[in-house]
Structure 1
Amino acid sequence: MEPNDQIQSNGTLFVKIGIVVLSMIVMIGLGIKIFPNAITVSNTGSRRDLPIYCVDTEEKKVALSFDAAWGNEDTKTILDILKKHNVKVTFFMTGEWIEKYPEDVKAIAAAGHDLGNHSENHKQMSQLTKEECKEEIMKAHNRVKELTGIEMNLFRPPYGDYNNTLVGTARECNYYTIQWDVDSLDWKDYGVDDIVKRCTVNKKLGNGSIILMHNGAKYTPKALEVVIMGLKDQGYELVPISKLIYRGNYVIDHTGRQRMK
């Protein structure tokens, strides 16, 4: 090859490399997803592994969810209300709660509700190592499996606190990590009317919303029936999270909304 030919060849190669690099920079700058299965790229170029906050769907469906980490006085009342209105929901339970109230775990399962994992000890899991995260998830998992035979696959981080390590570890344990986009704030004990308003008159409420409640909150049982009727009056079908989310070929945008690819 002549020197001039070599220079021309190298120049062409450099141009091609430059185009590829520039394309990647533009994609990152626009926040475009280039990683599969829920990993997004922020406008700073950092990789974020996001949980599911809500679901993109044209169907008028929402999901009620209850975190069970303390208290149990009202679980039966909640189950009775749900049965009365023929509504199925998702209960996210800690290992400690499962250990204290095994019969209620069985009752929840028998009623056809989702059993979800809320970790073993309700720790701030973004501060844990990968192995510690796995232990927190699988201890609660195995408790439920021994009690009911059910292999849980929905996980909600305690305090809604997560990082890439936790979400990735949960996925390796065959879990979908679930957050929420509508918060009842029932644990703050603001009263029945406040809970109802936050759950039914909320700018974030829409198709595919996931609503957070707690089975141990003081006013939740009194508010629950009104919340259910209020959502149904707006035309929403209430489904458990397992019937709302997509499986397999999906992405999660920067807002935490799960979409089909």
Structure 2
Amino acid sequence: MSFYTWKVERLKRYGVVVVLALFCALFLWLGQWSQLPVFSNNGEPRALTQGSEELSFVALTFNISWGSDKVYEILEQLESHQAQATFFVSGEWAERHPDIVTAIQEGKHEIGMMGYEYESYLELKPEQVRSDLSKAQEAFEKLGFEEIKWIRPPHGHMDKEVLKLIENEGMQAVQWSLNPRDWENPGTNAIIDQVLNEGEKGDIILLHASDSVKQTPKALEVILPGLKQKGLKFVSISELVSGGESETTQIN
């Protein structure tokens, strides 16, 4: 009896070890999948709004739809502080300023799009949205960007139908988690205070590089070293997503 009891006990111990091993393997497997962003839920496409709060990453993003002066000042600030960013530009603007697009790329920054004509997709018919997306893709392909992954719909306007159209084109919509509304020129200190006070791990910060912004380049002189002092690292949207589990927002 004692022999069989010992054998049963040993089998139980082995069984526990096997179960624990399988559990650990499953945990690691799920961990690998959690590193991949999930941009849809039950078939409903979503917009990327924030990166992982577990990593000290922050993504600076700049919208450009017109003008050519302020972007150079902003690029100088980014280079001075060795900060990487993602620039969302309209296809029409990119065609008019291929030299600036090249300068952005040479600065090791990422390029995203904002459609072609920068018209609200909520005011266009589905076929018009598809046409604008197609025209934008053609414009960027001619400039050597054959696989633009990220799109910020013009004016940030989107709904489920727009997101589905974007998804069908193989792209991902990107919103933001922090918006100091620099395009309103609220004051250099106001921009600085909001970004430094509210900026946290995983944030996607919305800024602009069109000529309408008068205070953003000056604000960056403080924002860039300030965020670094908070222990944050500037990364592109692609790095923000690949670095950890990202958050998305359901659009009604």
TM-score per shorter chain, which class? 0.7 to 0.9
Query: Looking at both structures, which has the greater relative contact order when contacts are Cα pairs under 8 Å and sequence separation is at least 6?
Result: 2
In structure 2, C-alpha distance between the alignment counterparts of 1:241 and 1:38, rounded to whole Å: 14
Q: Which amino acid aligns with 1:103?
A: D
CA change 1:254–1:167 in 2 (3 A) is: closer
The within-5 A match list for 1:61-76 is: 61-76=57-72
- Indicate whether 1:157 and 2:158 are aligned: no
Q: Which amino acid aligns with 1:38?
A: F
- Indicate whether 1:214 and 2:215 are aligned: no
Q: How far did residue 153 of structure 1 move?
A: 0.8
Instruction: Quote the residue 1:237 is aligned against.
Output: 233
CA contact (8 A) 1:199 1:227 kept: yes
Instruction: Quote the residue 1:224 is aligned against.
Output: 220
In structure 2, C-alpha distance between the alignment counterparts of 1:137 and 1:162, rounded to whole Å: 14
Instruction: Quote the residue 1:136 is aligned against.
Output: 132
RMSD: 2.3
Instruction: Quote the residue 1:118 is aligned against.
Output: 114
Q: Deviations over 1:150-209 (max 9, x none)?
A: 42110001111101111111112111110001002110011110111121112xx32211
The within-5 A match list for 1:97-108 is: 97-108=93-104
CA change 1:122–1:237 in 2 (3 A) is: same
CA contact (8 A) 2:49 2:249 kept: no
Q: Which amino acid aligns with 2:109?
A: H
In structure 1, C-alpha distance between the alignment counterparts of 2:165 and 2:186, rounded to whole Å: 36
CA contact (8 A) 1:54 1:209 kept: yes
In structure 2, C-alpha distance between the alignment counterparts of 1:251 and 1:235, rounded to whole Å: 19
- The 4+ residue runs of structure 1 with deviation greater than 4 A are 249-256
Instruction: Quote the residue 1:39 is aligned against.
Output: 40
The within-5 A match list for 1:15-30 is: none
In structure 2, C-alpha distance between the alignment counterparts of 1:250 and 1:126, rounded to whole Å: 29
Q: Which amino acid aligns with 1:125?
A: Y
Which has the larger share of helix? Answer: 2
Instruction: Quote the residue 2:13 is aligned against.
Output: none
Percent of residue pairs identical: 29
- Match of 2:201, SS state, is coil
After TM superposition, the score normalised by the length of structure 2 is 0.77
Q: How far did residue 136 of structure 1 move?
A: 1.6
Instruction: Quote the residue 2:24 is aligned against.
Output: none
In structure 1, C-alpha distance between the alignment counterparts of 2:182 and 2:118, rounded to whole Å: 18
Q: How far did residue 56 of structure 1 move?
A: 2.5
How many residues matched? 213
- Match of 1:183, SS state, is coil
Q: How far did residue 106 of structure 1 move?
A: 1.1
CA contact (8 A) 1:64 1:211 kept: yes
Q: How far did residue 48 of structure 1 move?
A: 5.3
After TM superposition, the score normalised by the length of structure 1 is 0.75
CA contact (8 A) 1:93 1:117 kept: yes
Instruction: Quote the residue 1:11 is aligned against.
Output: none
CA contact (8 A) 1:118 1:156 kept: yes
- Indicate whether 1:197 and 2:193 are aligned: yes
Q: How far did residue 138 of structure 1 move?
A: 2.4
Q: Point out where structure 2 has 5 or more consecutive residues left out of the alignment.
A: 1-36
Q: Point out where structure 1 has 5 or more consecutive residues left out of the alignment.
A: 1-35, 42-46, 257-261
Instruction: Quote the residue 2:52 is aligned against.
Output: 56
